[in-house]
């Protein structure tokens, strides 16, 4: 008789947990997955997917504008927020069902309810205990909101995806991925958007040319950015308007959204109590095989707060299943992982920023700013910015950065080049596709003077 009910219990049916369960089951493991909310997790239910649907929906506003230059006359375009939200919800239901069916077809047992880890091999769900040789924690994270008077009036990305109507004005606190993506959505749908930063620029950690370009493009689109602000309080007046006190200024708005980072979902999970080591943010500390301080408990994805991106969690799930259930001890290379911000205009990046590269390398920097062909006819004043950072000594390309249409689609390809260690000479020898914006990445010749 088997010592445990399962070979593997996965807690959390998001992107990482689902990949780990399905793959482990396909290699013959007996697997259960526990989910307290909806199958699909942050990416499918509360993140990437619904956000991108709203981005697509909002982008039509600029498409209608641009169309005029090409001879279209659009007399009255209006947007119905409710229809967009309904369409989004329908798609999420479809995807959730696909996730559930994929798990069932893989032979994974689905358990719904709140999981609490009781010891190194036991998990309790609503009064029933299940045992497993290995427990994989893949519970993700949730929005972090700092404490301040009036915190109860704010919304986060969770609620922003399900608003009953599109706000006429919205204040967004934070200047990271989520803040800029929602600023783009609401701005394009006609809302007045104000961004509040505690620092002096959006997108900390990104290349400075990206940060400067997106700042001026957001401002051109009418988004106001308030730098170096500290939030004193938030109050609701009799008419339901919100008043955000920034000390010297009081801003009034229909909605105040916080996009001030995310925090690992480890509270009340029982793992701390059984001895799993957590860092100051509450993230599970894992070694290079995703093992926690308890040798039967592992963690992947946002709950480990390493690189908090869906494809990273998926690959961590894959690597986990390969190593422990397919006798294939592979590891994940965390270098040169590309990412995109679906702001308007879009941002994508792979490799080192100029600032990071200058710490250890002598660098050559190539920058191109140009008006894409479509804009010359539409009249849109929105230049694209592309940048390449190169190691002067080896000619290796260390980073590619872009702000402009299709940045994410373009940078994905260049991520492969960086993974292969491509040199600037090889970029130069690559024949471009004309007429595209992407060809600019293989035709930049002039080194930027410092």
Q: Which is nearer to ligand NDP, 103 or 282 (CB)?
A: 282
Angle at which helix 48-69 crosses helix 81-105, to 10 degrees, equals 140
Q: In the chain, count of helices (H) and strands (E)?
A: 12, 21
Q: How far is the CB of 230 from ligand NDP (least distance, A)?
A: 8
Q: Which is nearer to ligand NDP, 165 or 204 (CB)?
A: 204
- Does 341 bind ligand NDP (CB under 6 A)? Our answer is yes
3-state secondary structure of 368: strand
Query: Which residue of 114, 198, 374, 419 would you call a contact of ligand NDP, by CB under 6 A?
Result: 198
Tokens of 85: 């939200």
- Does 54 bind ligand NDP (CB under 6 A)? Our answer is no
Q: How far is the CB of 97 from ligand NDP (least distance, A)?
A: 24
Q: Which is nearer to ligand NDP, 60 or 148 (CB)?
A: 148
What's the Cα-to-Cα distance from 230 to each of 96, 207, 244, 250, 261, rounded to whole Å?
Answer: 39, 25, 10, 12, 16
- Does 251 bind ligand NDP (CB under 6 A)? Our answer is no
Q: How far is the CB of 365 from ligand NDP (least distance, A)?
A: 23
What's the Cα-to-Cα distance from 102 to each of 21, 27, 29, 106, rounded to whole Å?
Answer: 10, 15, 16, 6
Q: Which is nearer to ligand NDP, 390 or 410 (CB)?
A: 410
Q: Which of 196, 144, 189, 149 is nearest to 169 (CA)?
A: 189
- Does 339 bind ligand NDP (CB under 6 A)? Our answer is yes
Q: What are phi and psi of 418, to 5 degrees?
A: -65, -40
Q: Which of 279, 271, 332, 342 is nearest to 305 (CA)?
A: 279
**Which secondary-structure segment (H or E) carries 284?**
none
Question: Per-residue string for binding with ligand NDP, 121-150, x by CB under 6 A?
Answer: -------------------------x----
Judged by CB under 6 A, the chain residues 293 through 322 that form the site for ligand NDP are: 308-309
Query: Which residue of 172, 195, 242, 259 would you call a contact of ligand NDP, by CB under 6 A?
Result: 259
Q: Which is nearer to ligand NDP, 178 or 225 (CB)?
A: 178
Query: Which residue of 199, 216, 371, 376 would you call a contact of ligand NDP, by CB under 6 A?
Result: 199
Q: Which is nearer to ligand NDP, 301 or 399 (CB)?
A: 301
Long-range contacts for 120-126 (Cβ within 8 Å, ≥24 apart)? Answer: 120/274, 120/275, 120/294, 120/295, 120/296, 120/297, 121/4, 121/296, 123/9, 123/11, 123/34, 124/270, 125/34
- Does 257 bind ligand NDP (CB under 6 A)? Our answer is no
Q: How far is the CB of 413 from ligand NDP (least distance, A)?
A: 17
Q: How far is the CB of 174 from ligand NDP (least distance, A)?
A: 3
Q: How far is the CB of 138 from ligand NDP (least distance, A)?
A: 16
Minimal CB distance to ligand NDP: which residue? Answer: 176
Judged by CB under 6 A, the chain residues 204 through 223 that form the site for ligand NDP are: 204
Catalytic annotation present for 401? no
Within 10 A of 90 (CB to CB), how many other CB atoms are there? Answer: 10
Q: Which of 442, 431, 365, 445 is nearest to 398 (CA)?
A: 365
> How does DSSP assign 71-118, residue by residue?
T---------HHHHHHHHHHHHHHHHHHHHHHHHHTTPEEEES-EEEE
Catalytic residues, by residue number, are 434
Binding site for ligand NDP (CB under 6 A): 146, 173-179, 181, 198-199, 204, 259-262, 308-309, 339-342
């Amino acid at each position: 008789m088997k010592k445990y009910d399962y070979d593997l219990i996965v807690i959390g049916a998001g992107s990482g947990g689902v990949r780990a369960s399905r793959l482990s089951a396909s290699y013959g493991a007996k697997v259960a997955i526990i989910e307290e909310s909806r199958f699909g997790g942050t990416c499918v239910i509360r993140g990437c997917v619904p956000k991108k649907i709203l981005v697509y929906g909002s982008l039509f506003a600029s498409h209608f504008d641009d169309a005029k230059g090409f001879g279209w006359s659009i007399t009255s375009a209006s947007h119905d927020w409710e229809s967009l939200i309904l369409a989004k919800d329908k798609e999420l239901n479809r995807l959730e069902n696909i996730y559930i069916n994929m798990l069932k077809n893989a032979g994974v047992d689905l358990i719904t309810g709140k999981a609490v880890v009781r010891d190194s091999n036991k998990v309790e769900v609503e009064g029933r205990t299940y045992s497993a040789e290995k427990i994989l924690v893949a519970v993700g994270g949730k929005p972090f909101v700092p404490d301040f008077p009036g915190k109860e009036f704010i919304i986060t990305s969770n609620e922003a995806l399900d608003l009953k109507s599109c706000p006429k004005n919205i204040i967004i606190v934070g200047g990271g991925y989520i803040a800029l993506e929602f600023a783009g959505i609401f701005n394009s749908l006609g809302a007045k958007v104000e961004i509040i930063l505690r620092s002096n620029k959006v997108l900390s950690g990104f290349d400075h040319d990206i940060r400067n370009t997106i700042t001026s493009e957001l401002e051109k689109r009418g988004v106001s950015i308030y730098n170096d602000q500290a939030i004193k309080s938030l109050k609701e007046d009799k008419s339901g308007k919100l008043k955000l006190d920034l000390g010297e200024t009081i801003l009034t708005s229909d909605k105040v959204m916080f996009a001030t980072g995310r925090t690992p979902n480890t509270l009340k999970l029982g793992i701390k109590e059984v001895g799993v080591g957590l860092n100051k943010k509450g993230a599970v500390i894992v070694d290079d095989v995703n093992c926690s301080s308890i040798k039967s408990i592992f963690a992947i994805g946002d709950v480990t707060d390493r690189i908090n991106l869906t494809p990273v969690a998926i690959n961590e799930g894959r690597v986990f299943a390969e190593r422990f259930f397919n006798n294939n001890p592979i590891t994940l290379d965390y270098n040169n992982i590309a990412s995109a911000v679906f702001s308007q205009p879009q941002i994508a990046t792979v490799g080192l920023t100029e600032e990071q590269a200058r710490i250890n390398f002598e660098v050559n920097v190539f920058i191109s700013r140009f008006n894409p062909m479509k804009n010359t006819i539409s009249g849109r004043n929105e230049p694209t910015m592309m940048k390449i950072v190169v190691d002067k000594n080896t000619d290796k390309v260390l980073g590619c950065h872009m702000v402009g249409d299709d940045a994410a689609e373009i940078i994905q390809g260049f991520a492969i080049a960086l993974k292969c260690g491509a040199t600037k000479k090889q970029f130069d020898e690559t024949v471009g596709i004309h007429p595209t914006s992407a060809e600019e990445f293989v035709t930049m010749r002039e080194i930027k003077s410092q």
